[in-house]
Copies of this chain bind each other. A is one copy, B any other.
Amino acid sequence: MKQINIGIIGFGTVGAGTFEVLTENRKLISDRVGMDIIVKKIADLDIESDRGIPVSRDLLTVDAMEVINDPEVDVVVELIGGLEKAREYILAAMEKGKHVVTANKALIAEYGHDIYRAAEKHGVNLGFEASVAGGIPIIGALRGGLAANRIQTIMGILNGTSNYILTKMTRDGLPYNAVVQEAVNMGFAEDPPTLDVDGTDAAHKLAILISIAFGSPVSFKDIYKEGIDALTPDDIRIAGDFGYSIKLLAIARNSGDRVEARVHPTMIPKDHILANVNEVYNAIYIEGNFVGPNLYYGLGAGRRPTGSAVVSDIMDLARQIRLGLKGPVPPLGHFHPPQKQISIEPIHELTCAYYFRFSALDRPGVLSKIAGILGEHNISISSVIQEGREVKGSVPIVMLTHEAREENVRKAISLIDNLDVLTDKTMIIRVEAR
């Protein structure tokens, strides 16, 4: 085999980036894989718009099935995003015996199981490196370089938009809404950036990472998620005074039979390597039982980085084909997948340290009332700051706790929020001291 032919479905940002990598680095890519990678066809509903790169009209079609049915196409690259259509195309391509590469995180997170099964049934490979953290080759690392490890912890900054917003809020002390507006105006964020800021996007990526780390798909809807929109510049400043940064973290932790899996704003010590991941950058921190802590950092989105990841999957396929691959490489990197389904620990069973910011009237006895309720729920306080200045008639009281159980925290805070002296809902932020 002298060349490998690919067909691209979806010629938006990532599709154009993929084509650009294959064109601009053509020589280098063929030196590395030992054969040419040729784009045979590109399907998109819009074949008129200029993508800023020269593309022969002959390659373009509005009919995705033309790509899938082309007998010369060896690999179908799905880059349309979304769920139903993408799934249909991928399954159709696999049925035709074609290998598939995709950047579709929502699809892999929510329907991965069906797609893995189809790949196995039809004896084809599935590449989805681009589905998590764009240009960072984290899936390759989990399937390859870290494969000898039991994965204990994954903590990821997996959404660039929310990391950019938090970075700006931290550096400039600006409120959430102002930063979002600015990011939308500058084209850094979608309007509104709902799936980015509410944790859904990060949860999709976490579901994929967990499935590779543990060898079987998880139920995406069981991943707890909480967004960043309730955070205030005060929380960020006070967390800073305690020596912490606030990041939207996607966290998975192997707790024996089950896996903790959650996405929420998290306080981490300022000298933690993740605390220094700023702007639109993504990073994944992983602990394995032999390798210890590892971090992978880079751009998690964008035409060129995501294109780089898509093409790395195509190159991997090309090498396998060149080396005479028999039978598919298992998508989750397990030739003998674990028999047991992974179950996710419900959030109310979580144990961690907490930050509380109470908004209370400045009256005698308030602190003792709050502390009393916490004590009754086995929540022990490690430090308290009561700031002098009033905000809208109330004073902020901030507490850090020792490790406590989420269930108890929720009960206690609900009781506290019902006190007459409380003027607003209590802000709760989970703390990762490790």
Q: Which residues of A contact B (CB under 8 A)?
A: 17, 20-21, 24-25, 28-35, 129, 135-137, 139-141, 144-150, 215, 271, 273, 276-278, 281, 283, 288-299, 302, 304-305, 307-309, 311-312, 315-316, 319-320, 322-327, 329, 333-338
List 5 A-B pairs, minimum CB-CB distance, nearest first: A137-B145, A34-B335, A324-B326, A148-B311, A295-B297
Give chain B nearest CB distance to A177 CB in angstroms.
26
Give chain B nearest CB distance to A420 CB in angstroms.
46
Interface centre among A21, A141, A325 (most CB of B within 10 A): A141
Cα A293 to Cα B147 with chains together (Å)? 24
A337–B148 CB distance below 8 A? no
Closest to A338 in B: B31
B293–A299 CB distance below 8 A? yes
Name the contact of A296 in the complex, choosing from B30, B296, B322 (C-beta under 8 A). Answer: B296
A-B pairs with beta carbons under 8 Å apart, 8 shown: A31-B336, A32-B336, A34-B336, A147-B316, A290-B305, A292-B299, A295-B296, A295-B297
Residues of B within 8 A of A31 (CB): 215, 334-338
Residues of B within 8 A of A324 (CB): 324-327
Give chain B nearest CB distance to A33 CB in angstroms.
6
B309–A298 CB distance below 8 A? no
Query: Given A323-B329, A324-B327 in contact, is the A292-B305 Cβ separation under 8 Å?
Result: yes
Query: Given A140-B141, A312-B145, A327-B323 in contact, is the A25-B289 Cβ separation under 8 Å?
Result: yes
Cα A148 to Cα B315 with chains together (Å)? 8
B144–A316 CB distance below 8 A? yes
Give chain B nearest CB distance to A358 CB in angstroms.
33
Query: Given A31-B337, A308-B149 in contact, is the A295-B298 Cβ separation under 8 Å?
Result: yes
B141–A137 CB distance below 8 A? yes
Residues of B within 8 A of A315 (CB): 147-148
Query: Given A324-B326, A336-B34 in contact, is the A298-B294 Cβ separation under 8 Å?
Result: yes
Instruction: Give the interface SS of chain A, mostly helix, strand, loop or mixed.
Output: mixed
Residues of B within 8 A of A20 (CB): 290
A137–B146 CB distance below 8 A? yes
Name the contact of A291 in the complex, choosing from B135, B140, B292, B334 (C-beta under 8 A). Answer: B135
Residues of B within 8 A of A29 (CB): 147-148
Cα A297 to Cα B335 with chains together (Å)? 28
Closest to A34 in B: B335
A25–B149 CB distance below 8 A? yes
Name the contact of A33 in the complex, choosing from B141, B325, B335, B337 (C-beta under 8 A). Answer: B335
Question: Given contacts A31-B334, A293-B299, could you give 8 more A-B pairs where the C-beta distance is less than 8 Å?
Answer: A32-B333, A135-B290, A141-B145, A149-B308, A290-B307, A291-B299, A294-B297, A295-B296
Give chain B nearest CB distance to A423 CB in angstroms.
38
Give chain B nearest CB distance to A390 CB in angstroms.
35
Query: Given A31-B337, A32-B335, A337-B31 in contact, is the A308-B288 Cβ separation under 8 Å?
Result: yes
Give chain B nearest CB distance to A366 CB in angstroms.
40
A291–B273 CB distance below 8 A? no
Name the contact of A334 in the complex, choosing from B32, B135, B271, B307 (C-beta under 8 A). Answer: B32
Cα A147 to Cα B316 with chains together (Å)? 9
Name the contact of A140 in the complex, choosing from B25, B140, B308, B323 (C-beta under 8 A). Answer: B140
Residues of B within 8 A of A137 (CB): 141, 144-146
Interface centre among A34, A271, A297, A322 (most CB of B within 10 A): A297
Give chain B nearest CB distance to A332 CB in angstroms.
9
Closest to A137 in B: B145
Residues of B within 8 A of A33 (CB): 147, 335
